Amino acid sequence: MTDAGSEPKPLLPFLQPFYDWVVPRTWPQVRFAAGWNLAVHGWGKLLRGPTGMAKAFTDLGFHDPSNLILLLTVVEFVGGICIILGLLTLAITLRGGGPYSLDRKIGWQL
């Protein structure tokens, strides 16, 4: 059985110093990609507003989607920004937000 806390062996061991340097810097990229995707969808809902989004949601079968639209807008837009900044990174729960996250800066860990 392998140790769950150990890192995998590098494919090219002579590149270990590069891996050590680049791995912590990839977490902001992962957070940006995931957060940007959410924030863009939330921004579209924010621009259209609940009335602009109502037809799409009623076509999906929701009878009064205004509360759902508001919830999704906040979760997608604000949540996406939080993920980009590394604050409350629930989406990256397995490894945390990385060394350059607000969670790490303020000492929070989920």
pLDDT surpasses 90 at 108: no
pLDDT digits (tens, 9 = 90+) for 42-95: 999 999 988 899 999 999 999 989 899 999 999 999 999 999 998 877 756 666
SS (H, E, C) the chain: CCCCCCCCCCCCHHHHHHHHHHHHHHHHHHHHHHHHHHHHHHHHHHHHHHHHHHHHHHHCCCCCCHHHHHHHHHHHHHHHHHHHHCCCCHHHCCCCCCCCCHHHHHCCCC
